[in-house]
Structure 1
Amino acid sequence: MSSVSASAPPAARLAATILLLRDGEQGMEVFMVVRHQQIDFASGALVFPGGKLAPGDSEARTHARCTGVEGLNKDEIAPRVGAIREAFEESGILLARPAKGGAIGAERLAALGTRYRRGLDRGEIAIADMLETEDLVLDCGGLVPFAHWVTPTFMPKRFDTYFFLAVAPPDQVGVHDGHETVDSAWLTPPTIVLDELAGRRTLVPATMLNVKKLGFSVSVKDALAAAKAKPVVTVQPVLEKGPDGKGLLRIPQEAGYGVSEFTMDIPS
């Protein structure tokens, strides 16, 4: 079996995403959004809210307004900030609270969304600007590391993505932004898998595998406990060419997906 190689692969950009969870009548649900058809990566696909880290995610003044980051260094805090920011931009759900205590009510959350979501998305303001102006702190302690994927080297656009689990605040309603994302829904993992098999949904492999991994748990409590119990193993799929000419993407068995390889067409 020979490896498929590529010279000078593009650098992988840091990114982060959150699997926002809640328990529904049919079981545990995760908030998903549909990416706009004109987006240059995963267009039209069902994804978790997330995206590239912004410069402001690494600022000291931002990290000064993070809770639950004791013992973490700046490189560990930045993906958590980016995940919370991206979730707010793409879903309107904000994992934060007033610095003086209490919760962000529905009315204030709606006002924050109107005032800041587009500016954050366009890079016109940094997350620290909103936190300082509104006297808020981010609930980074509510994020549980779940997965870490690096795009294969043969892909023209590559990301180094951290996945986190978080409980969705019960008083916040997820709403897609209407720009990068054009639809949204709370779905159970089995429903997502069946919809993809039936051709009703499109998912990239990393998203589908993380949906299936999430589906090993039956409730939010179980999912959080399972994620906390096992260390995250970095996954960077390696594409190999078998004797039959088909492509095999290999991933570490210890990453916890129940598979170590799957087939795909080798890109030309």
Structure 2
Amino acid sequence: MTKAPSEPRLSATVLLLRDQPDLQVLMVKRHYEIDFASGALVFPGGKANAEDENEAWDALSDGDFEGKDRAARVSAVREAYEEAGIILARPANARGEGAPLVGPDVAKALEPFRGAVDRGQQSFVELMQDHDLVLALDTLVHFGHWITPDMMPKRFDTHFYLAPTPPDQKAEQDGRETTEAVWLGAQQALDMEAAGDATIIFPTRMNLGKLAEVQSVEAALTRFSNEAVVTVLPVIGQDEAGAPCLHIPVEAGYIQITESLGKVKEGVGKAAQ
């Protein structure tokens, strides 16, 4: 009897962008003791938790979002804070779409709570309330949507977002889930992977390829805020030579539509070493 696929867990990933002067994206290296993609260069992100769905975010966030859409965005902001120390928020008394984000002083004040929020010992809702902040969910541009293939034992329903990094906030790894935080050009990261100097798993590589098509934060936000996001659920098939591979929709607009299963397994294997 065929086993039914496991239900994918809602997850979110954020590509934090800056011009320095060329476009760069923040990537973090997964800790070697993490059970998925350990040692790989990824964007800050992870699974949504129950508090990400709390209705309190209706009053504690800017942007007209609700339900799963809001929960995924809250998760993306929370993960950026936990894994990189970047907080996408505004003062509650100076809120509103397009209003300036908080600076390094607020990020520094929130720094001591990162580990506790990550471990579930500190409520993220209460942390924002205690510091009179609201999340700037409106700054997130929906960039990608990937669902783990049916045959995988652990599956994720992952939304990728672009976000401009608040001026002067400094990214720093958390030392628990991530061991490095580096700013890279998208093509630079791809070249590192091609040269064997970095491990980058398939979805991350595809999103880097799409980001490499633009040259500035403004260009990225303008272009991708006006492009529809096509859900990617890779399916197993064969390439033109008959070798097993993953297929993704051409409509999703990525730099390739097939990936060798051998390369997928090799990438995960390298990440786990």
TM-score, reference length from structure 2: 0.90
**Residues 165 and 243 (structure 1 numbering): CA distance in 2 closer, same or farther, change over 3 Å?**
closer
Shift of 1:108: 3.0
**Residues 105 and 261 (structure 1 numbering): CA distance in 2 closer, same or farther, change over 3 Å?**
closer
For 2:271, the equivalent position in structure 1 comes to: none
Tell me which amino acid in the other structure corresponds to 1:214.
L
Residue pairs, 1:41-190, within 5 angstroms: 41-68=36-63, 70=64, 72-101=65-94, 103-114=101-112, 116-190=113-187
SS at structure 1 position matched to 2:28: strand
CA distance in 2, matches of 1:140, 1:45: 27
Shift of 1:47: 0.2
For 2:9, the equivalent position in structure 1 comes to: 13
SS at structure 2 position matched to 1:235: coil
Tell me which amino acid in the other structure corresponds to 2:71.
A
Shift of 1:92: 0.2
8 Å contact 1:56–1:62 — kept in the other structure?
Answer: no
CA distance in 1, matches of 2:101, 2:124: 18
8 Å contact 2:239–2:258 — kept in the other structure?
Answer: no
Residue pairs, 1:212-251, within 5 angstroms: 212-241=209-238, 246-251=243-248
8 Å contact 2:88–2:101 — kept in the other structure?
Answer: no
RMSD over aligned Cα atoms: 1.7
For 1:3, the equivalent position in structure 2 comes to: none
CA distance in 1, matches of 2:257, 2:158: 19
For 1:36, the equivalent position in structure 2 comes to: 31
Shift of 1:111: 2.0
CA distance in 2, matches of 1:149, 1:243: 24
Shift of 1:98: 1.2
Shift of 1:195: 0.3
Tell me which amino acid in the other structure corresponds to 1:65.
L
SS at structure 2 position matched to 1:76: helix
Shift of 1:37: 0.5
8 Å contact 2:143–2:162 — kept in the other structure?
Answer: yes
CA distance in 1, matches of 2:41, 2:240: 33
CA distance in 2, matches of 1:139, 1:242: 43
CA distance in 2, matches of 1:113, 1:63: 24
The runs of 5 or more residues in structure 2 that have no matched partner are 95-99, 266-273
SS at structure 2 position matched to 1:165: strand
The runs of 5 or more residues in structure 1 that have no matched partner are 1-5
Tell me which amino acid in the other structure corresponds to 1:96.
A
Tell me which amino acid in the other structure corresponds to 1:44.
G
Shift of 1:103: 4.9
Tell me which amino acid in the other structure corresponds to 2:9.
R
SS at structure 1 position matched to 2:93: coil
SS at structure 2 position matched to 1:222: helix
**Residues 97 and 242 (structure 1 numbering): CA distance in 2 closer, same or farther, change over 3 Å?**
closer
8 Å contact 1:33–1:176 — kept in the other structure?
Answer: yes
CA distance in 1, matches of 2:231, 2:90: 31
Tell me which amino acid in the other structure corresponds to 1:92.
G
